[in-house]
Chains A and B, each alone.
Chain A
């Protein structure tokens, strides 16, 4: 998820705030945070400053987890959050429930995301090789090529897509 301020870098901090009774997710990268500070960020986003939101931000900043949180431990395996910070390993599956709030900013930093969108448990993996999905895949490649200003590649991909569509029409 891209940073709401610079819209360029991956966000490393995620804060949920209710503004005018509407829930809003804020995504900020650590470079913008260090440049503008929390007050500056809020000003930029037209969000009124108060103690509450400041606290939320501080909770989300990696390395700024409060002392009592570091001592928090998983009831199943007894691993403390501070142990995870040292080793990089969690202790058991339940740790992800115990530390889910503390892990979110870390996941955002490591993975650029904290929501699984892949295959669900129980689903079988299939590589969709149908024409429709092949075209979908090529269209995504085309988008990437244009984004990265590789216009020669983009032209080739566009030709490929057109050919697939044309062949399909002939076959039907």
Chain B
């Protein structure tokens, strides 16, 4: 199951969602801990085993496994490539795979749900869906979390709410995030003002690959920066409001720039097509930039490429997924294979 999700990608990448021209996907993550047991960051081996036992027991009793088509894995059962590929697919966290011992996780058949045991908290439950669908996702994810609460004694205090290892997740334990493609706000530089403004709405903005202000891919992860002192619904509304605003201004900027600077954009798209057709090696940064412009071309119908296919490629070209696709472990081969892969996949379409 896990191998086929890695090869064929999870549903939320393959499907094109509502307003996916701007918001590619929605993710919600909830942190919970069992009362009276040390957090995974300071637990002993026996305590970590106990945490896994208690949670697996709750899953069995609650019927969640069959209800949500979950499959459980010991992280040690996966090889290093597979672990890293799941991080590239946002299904596991980098922290979770850093030390693979006494880690357990569940994934559903569609690759939308992932539940990590012994990450930073005892339990991290997350759900991903395509498009701007956080209202659906939040209702969906609480079905799992609230059901688990019937079988596990979650640590909770009246003053601080749900207890978490790090105080940044305290209270609701709820993190809602949306993955946005903002090529025009990135191109005009207006994104900088939006990012510097966002903190006053308790919003955090991250270049999707974590390397600062102008990611070459124009992909940004937007999420709530606070979890305490607000209700779950307030947090949802904050992201709903901000998401809608982002959609509006990115589309407005797209229209403006396509009216005024059309030839500049056509040039960017044309050059990207050229690199795919005639280059022999493409590194990850270059591929990200190229795919970002091809996505613009696809959305503006300047290219006869489905936007979906570009979404898939944005993930497929990541190093570990490439290695799995081509059954290699040699780093030096990846840039060449990536170039070949883009040529074959997009050949005939561009």
Contact of A111 among B39, B154, B171 (CB under 8 A): B171
Contact of A144 with B35 in the complex, beta carbons under 8 Å? no
Write the nearest CB–CB distance from B35 to chain A, whole angstroms.
6
CA distance A144 to B203 in the complex (A): 15
Name the residue on A nearest B202 (C-beta): A112
Interface residue SS majority, chain B: loop
Contact of B229 with A87 in the complex, beta carbons under 8 Å? no
Interface residue SS majority, chain A: loop
Contact of B35 with A77 in the complex, beta carbons under 8 Å? no
Write the nearest CB–CB distance from B87 to chain A, whole angstroms.
21
Q: A141-B241, A144-B241 are in contact. Are A117 and B229 (CB under 8 A)?
A: yes
Write the nearest CB–CB distance from B122 to chain A, whole angstroms.
10
Contact of B139 with A107 in the complex, beta carbons under 8 Å? no
Contact of A93 with B163 in the complex, beta carbons under 8 Å? yes
A50 in the interface, Cβ–Cβ < 8 Å?
Answer: no
Write the nearest CB–CB distance from A139 to chain B, whole angstroms.
12
A90 in the interface, Cβ–Cβ < 8 Å?
Answer: yes
Chain B residues near A110 (CB-CB < 8 A): 167-168, 226
Contact of A90 with B227 in the complex, beta carbons under 8 Å? no
Chain B: residues with Cβ within 8 Å of the partner, total of: 46
Residue interface mask B171-194, A partner, CB < 8 A = 1: 110100000000000000000000
CA distance A91 to B39 in the complex (A): 6
Contact of B161 with A116 in the complex, beta carbons under 8 Å? yes
Residue interface mask A137-153, B partner, CB < 8 A = 1: 10011001000000000
CA distance A90 to B37 in the complex (A): 12
CA distance A121 to B149 in the complex (A): 8
Write the nearest CB–CB distance from A74 to chain B, whole angstroms.
10
B170 in the interface, Cβ–Cβ < 8 Å?
Answer: yes
Contact of A127 with B159 in the complex, beta carbons under 8 Å? no
Contact of A122 with B167 in the complex, beta carbons under 8 Å? no
Chain B residues near A140 (CB-CB < 8 A): 237
B77 in the interface, Cβ–Cβ < 8 Å?
Answer: no
B142 in the interface, Cβ–Cβ < 8 Å?
Answer: yes
A48 in the interface, Cβ–Cβ < 8 Å?
Answer: no
Name the residue on B nearest A91 (C-beta): B42
Contact of B156 with A106 in the complex, beta carbons under 8 Å? no
Contact of A90 with B138 in the complex, beta carbons under 8 Å? no
Residues of B215-247 at the interface with A, using a CB-CB cut-off of 8 Å, are 226-233, 236-237, 241
Contact of A116 with B159 in the complex, beta carbons under 8 Å? yes
Total A-B Cβ pairs within 8 A: 123
Contact of B38 with A96 in the complex, beta carbons under 8 Å? no
B8 in the interface, Cβ–Cβ < 8 Å?
Answer: no
B292 in the interface, Cβ–Cβ < 8 Å?
Answer: no
Chain B residues near A97 (CB-CB < 8 A): 157
Chain A residues near B171 (CB-CB < 8 A): 111, 116, 118
CA distance A72 to B39 in the complex (A): 19
CA distance A171 to B233 in the complex (A): 27
Contact of A124 among B41, B142, B237 (CB under 8 A): B142
Contact of B170 with A107 in the complex, beta carbons under 8 Å? yes
Contact of B146 among A93, A94, A125, A141 (CB under 8 A): A125
B162 in the interface, Cβ–Cβ < 8 Å?
Answer: yes
Contact of B232 with A118 in the complex, beta carbons under 8 Å? yes
Contact of A114 with B41 in the complex, beta carbons under 8 Å? no
Contact of A100 among B145, B154, B159 (CB under 8 A): B159
Contact of A112 with B229 in the complex, beta carbons under 8 Å? yes
Write the nearest CB–CB distance from A109 to chain B, whole angstroms.
10
- Known pairs A90-B167, A110-B167, A111-B226 / 4 extra A-B pairs, C-beta < 8 Å: A94-B36, A116-B161, A116-B172, A125-B232
On B, residues with C-beta under 8 Å from A are 33, 35-39, 41-42, 120, 135, 138-139, 142, 145-146, 149, 154-163, 165-168, 170-172, 174, 202, 226-233, 236-237, 241
- 28 residue pairs of the A-B complex, CB under 8 angstroms, read A77-B42, A90-B165, A90-B167, A92-B36, A92-B37, A92-B42, A94-B36, A106-B167, A110-B168, A111-B167, A111-B171, A111-B227, A111-B229, A112-B202, A116-B161, A116-B170, A116-B171, A117-B230, A117-B231, A118-B172, A118-B231, A120-B158, A121-B154, A124-B146, A125-B139, A125-B146, A127-B135, A137-B237
